[in-house]
Amino acid sequence: MRRITLIRGVIGATVVAALVAACDGSSLTSTGVVQRDPVPPQVSVTPVVPQPDSDFVAFNVNATDNLGLLAVVTTASGPGITQTFDTLFKSTVTSTTIPYRVQIPSGVPAGDTVSVVATATDGAGNTTMSDTLRILTQIAIP
């Protein structure tokens, strides 16, 4: 009887370890050892080509992670623009492409630069920041 109780205890501990691993970005190895996720997410920002019109700049944020993304924070800044977009994931997402369109304020001359940077965070707290994308505002075509 005690032997069965001991086996239940080990199984129960394994289940608890697996649940803890799922919550903090760790993984459970085949031997039952909880291992922290050492792999950071990947993130990049790419322009939409061609740009949709002269009143907006458009870009995509691409993010991936081996176990799951927790958040992607994107900031666009330039003349008259300071916008931050927070995307939080409530379920396991290992790859995403998020499209954005940012309006250019009237009075901003063509050829000014809008800078965009994104930061991805995974469930283990690993973060990666993208290279800065610089998009020129466009000339309106009459």
29 lies in the same domain as 53: no
47 lies in the same domain as 113: yes
54 lies in the same domain as 20: no
55 lies in the same domain as 100: yes
69 lies in the same domain as 127: yes
61 lies in the same domain as 131: yes
In this structure, is residue 61 part of a structural domain? yes
63 lies in the same domain as 31: no
DSSP state of 93: -
Query: Domain containing 22: what range?
Result: 2-35
User: What pLDDT, on a 0 to 100 scale, did the predictor assign at position 4?
Assistant: 42
For each of the chain's 142 residues, which pLDDT tens digit applies?
444 444 444 444 444 444 444 455 555 566 767 778 999 999 999 999 988 888 899 999 999 999 999 999 999 999 999 999 999 999 999 999 999 999 999 888 888 999 999 999 999 999 999 999 999 988 655 5
In this structure, is residue 141 part of a structural domain? no
User: What pLDDT, on a 0 to 100 scale, did the predictor assign at position 52?
Assistant: 81
Q: Are 47 and 56 in contact (CB under 8 A)?
A: no
Q: Give the C-alpha separation, 127 to 90, whole Å.
A: 17
Q: Are 43 and 62 in contact (CB under 8 A)?
A: yes
Q: Give the C-alpha separation, 26 to 107, whole Å.
A: 50
Q: Are 119 and 72 in contact (CB under 8 A)?
A: yes
**Token pair in block for residue 15:** 């289940």
Residue 24's φ and ψ, nearest 5 degrees, are -110, 15
User: What pLDDT, on a 0 to 100 scale, did the predictor assign at position 14?
Assistant: 45
Q: Any idea what the CATH number is for the domain that residue 104 is in?
A: 2.60.40.10
Residue with tokens 């995307």: 87
51 lies in the same domain as 91: yes
**Cis? peptide before 40, omega within 30° of 0:** no
Q: What does pTM read for this prediction?
A: 0.74
Q: Give the C-alpha separation, 46 to 116, whole Å.
A: 9
The tally of domains found in the chain comes to 2
- 88, with CB counted inside 10 A (0-12, 13-18, 19+), is exposed
76 lies in the same domain as 132: yes
In this structure, is residue 142 part of a structural domain? no
